[in-house]
Structure 1
Amino acid sequence: METRSNHVLVGAVVLILLAMLALFTVWMARLNGPSASDYDIFFKQSVDGLAKGSTVTYSGVPAGQVKQIALFKQDPQFVRVRISINDDIPILRGTTATVQSSFTGTSTIELDGAVKGAPPIVCPQQNRHAACPLGVPVIPTKVSGFGAVLNSAPKLFERLTSLTERLTELLSDKNQASIAGILENTDRLTKALADRGPEIAATLAQTRIAVKQAGDAAEKIGDLAQTTNGVLSSDVKPAMANLNKAIQSAQKSMDTLNGTIQDARPGVKTFSDRTVPEINQLVHDLRETSESLKSIAQKVNQGGATSILGPQKLPDYKPKDSKQ
């Protein structure tokens, strides 16, 4: 019994020592290896092919690995991926993360876009919870070209399906018969045009001649317009100058006449106030004189010149003889 107890005790001590040695080795490996920092990435796209332990690269250079993948409880449309990045990799402002998918099924996280001289990505002192909801710095994301293609693949397949259905409807038996009729009519029209080729050529030639004649007529009209402009410039302008001179002379005459009328206005007023009434009286007297002379003339015509000297003497009355 004592021998067995000693063996068990010795075995337990040996196992403990081996465990301690393993822990010491791991601790020493960590001390000798590069230190790492944790970052969170919130993807709104699918992260198919990404798993714990997947590689994280920075511009193609291995930089760390994925530590955890989970839905973000505060907003389940985001997938939270926590990564561990070696401290010798500069994670500066401007750095973005993308999921690089492949047809083999495995995916990696690609980091790039850091700006030279920019500060590192850290959790700020102010508004820390909003910037770092889980206590570690957050690296923003961007959609890669291949990832965008994969994300839009369902919509693309749906559109391809719809296009296929429409093509099937377009190429139905009825539509094929209609297309065949259209092609047949097109063939007939082509043959008819070929048969009428000489007539069409002649028509085109006549059209070309008509266009040329129209061009010549337009050119002649232009020359006529220029000639008309020259005539107007050479003949009408002197006439207009003479007309302007005549108008100016007439204007001067009108000004002189106005001055004369202004000068004569006082005399005209005196003539109107004095002379005109006297003339009226004279006309009245002449009218009365004329009436008197007319009356005398009538008396002379009727009774002779003696009628104006006195009344006409009656003849002596002689009584008739009674015998008679």
Structure 2
Amino acid sequence: METRSNHVLVGSVVLILLLVMAAFLVWIARFGAATDKEYDIFFKQSVDGLAKGSAVAFSGVPTGEVKEIALTNDPQFVRVRISVNRDTPILVGTAATIQGSFTGTSTIQLDGAVKGAPPITCPETNPLLDCPNGVPTIPAKAGGLGALLNSAPKLLERISTLTERFNELLSDKNQQSITGILANTNRLTGALADRGPEIAATLAEMRTTLKQASDAAKQIGDLAGSTNAMINEDVRPATKNLSATVASAQHSMETLDAAITDARPGIKAFSKETIPEVGALIHDLRNMSQALTAVAEKLDRGGAGSLVGQPKLPDYKGGK
């Protein structure tokens, strides 16, 4: 009886210790979870290779794990909830990509954070817009193998289109045309080879012509320089002298105009008073000249006595 009581007591103590240990482990787990941050990522691509517990890395450094993968109301998107360490810098500009591998497992890579940017959080106003499931949302971008797989259909379509066009280019009709073009090219090449000496002579003449044109241009330049020098040495001084002459003539005209202006009253008086007196004087001189002429004629005919006495009458002899 006592042995059975001891076994019951030992079992009870062990059970109590196990319950305490389980409660401690749960507390530790909750404490660790409380120190992590959760974010949602909405991928518009296949999440093949991801699973609950897949690693999450920030710039290649392991920092958390995938907590949940679920479908959304929009069949184009897959929601992936991750849990990362509290000290992970999930800032505005951070984006998530799925990094595949050849082993089949995939990881989530976080990068693009900018220093000084604010952290990604749920806004206080209208939080359901950016946090539809109660946690902040990290934007997703296509990258790595996922981006290659997403772009594979377009790439295959372009390759198919290019192949069709290449086949059209190499059709029988186009091949004949290409053959004709190549034949014409061969004939043209042969003709050019035959005309090689003539082409060389033409090039030599062209080189000579260009040299002559260069010499002519140089001579024209020298002539322009000489003309310039002549203008500077001859024409400009002559122009300067002509300007001085014109200025001197202008000054003389101004002086003459002033002299005429000053002499105008004297000229008026000369024309009104002096000219009539000069006319009378000339008349008197003319009369005196006539009188002197008459005296001279008397002297010639009768001598000096003709001036003081009467002329002698001629003697007449009577006859029978």
* Same fold, TM-score > 0.5, yes or no: yes
In the alignment, what sits opposite 1:92?
90
Distance 1:117 1:240 in 2: 78
Distance 1:79 1:54 in 2: 15
Could you say what secondary structure the match of 1:66 adopts? strand
Distance 2:168 2:115 in 1: 58
Q: Over residues 110-164 of structure 1, what are the superposed CA-to-partner deviations in whole Å (9 max), with x where a residue is unaligned?
A: 1234556776544344443323221112223333254433322221211111111
Q: Over residues 69-109 of structure 1, what are the superposed CA-to-partner deviations in whole Å (9 max), with x where a residue is unaligned?
A: 33433x5543321123355x524324431111345544321
Give runs of aligned pairs for residues 159-308 of structure 1, distance below 5 A.
159-260=158-259, 262-263=261-262
Using the size of structure 1 for normalisation, the TM-score is 0.66
Distance 1:271 1:67, change over 3 A: farther
Verify: 1:148 aligned to 2:161, yes or no: no
Give runs of aligned pairs for residues 43-192 of structure 1, distance below 5 A.
43-73=43-73, 76-87=75-86, 90-94=88-92, 95-102=94-101, 105-114=104-113, 121-192=120-191
Distance 1:227 1:62, change over 3 A: closer
Mapped contact 2:97–2:144 kept (Cα < 8 A): no
Verify: 1:42 aligned to 2:50, yes or no: no
More displaced 10-residue stretch of structure 1: 64-73 or 109-118: 109-118
Distance 1:266 1:103, change over 3 A: farther
Unpaired runs of 5+ residues, structure 2, are: 1-10, 274-320
Distance 1:59 1:31, change over 3 A: farther
In the alignment, what sits opposite 1:303?
none
Mapped contact 1:92–1:115 kept (Cα < 8 A): no
Distance 1:130 1:268 in 2: 116
Distance 1:79 1:271 in 2: 130
Distance 1:219 1:44, change over 3 A: same
CA shift for structure 1 position 217: 1.3
Distance 1:235 1:53 in 2: 102
Mapped contact 1:43–1:78 kept (Cα < 8 A): yes
Distance 2:164 2:96 in 1: 39
Distance 1:240 1:118 in 2: 79
Distance 2:115 2:142 in 1: 23
- Aligned letter for 1:184? A
Could you say what secondary structure the match of 1:99 adopts? strand
CA shift for structure 1 position 28: 4.8
More displaced 10-residue stretch of structure 1: 112-121 or 203-212: 112-121
Distance 1:257 1:155, change over 3 A: farther
Distance 1:69 1:105 in 2: 17
CA shift for structure 1 position 236: 1.1
Distance 1:77 1:271 in 2: 127
Distance 1:261 1:55, change over 3 A: same
Using the size of structure 2 for normalisation, the TM-score is 0.66
More displaced 10-residue stretch of structure 1: 179-188 or 118-127: 118-127
- Aligned letter for 1:148? A
- Aligned letter for 1:136? V
Distance 1:259 1:91, change over 3 A: same
Could you say what secondary structure the match of 1:152 adopts? helix
Unpaired runs of 5+ residues, structure 1, are: 1-13, 276-324
Distance 2:88 2:21 in 1: 29
Mapped contact 1:54–1:66 kept (Cα < 8 A): yes
CA shift for structure 1 position 24: 7.5
- Aligned letter for 2:167? T
Distance 2:46 2:112 in 1: 22
Distance 2:122 2:233 in 1: 92
Distance 1:149 1:268, change over 3 A: farther
Mapped contact 2:98–2:144 kept (Cα < 8 A): no
Give runs of aligned pairs for residues 301-320 of structure 1, distance below 5 A.
none
Cα RMSD for the two superposed structures: 3.6
Distance 1:44 1:267, change over 3 A: farther
Mapped contact 1:63–1:85 kept (Cα < 8 A): yes
Distance 1:97 1:26, change over 3 A: farther
CA shift for structure 1 position 237: 1.9
Distance 1:242 1:25, change over 3 A: same
- Aligned letter for 2:66? V
CA shift for structure 1 position 238: 2.1
Q: Over residues 22-77 of structure 1, what are the superposed CA-to-partner deviations in whole Å (9 max), with x where a residue is unaligned?
A: x877655444454244321122344343344433233334433333333433x554
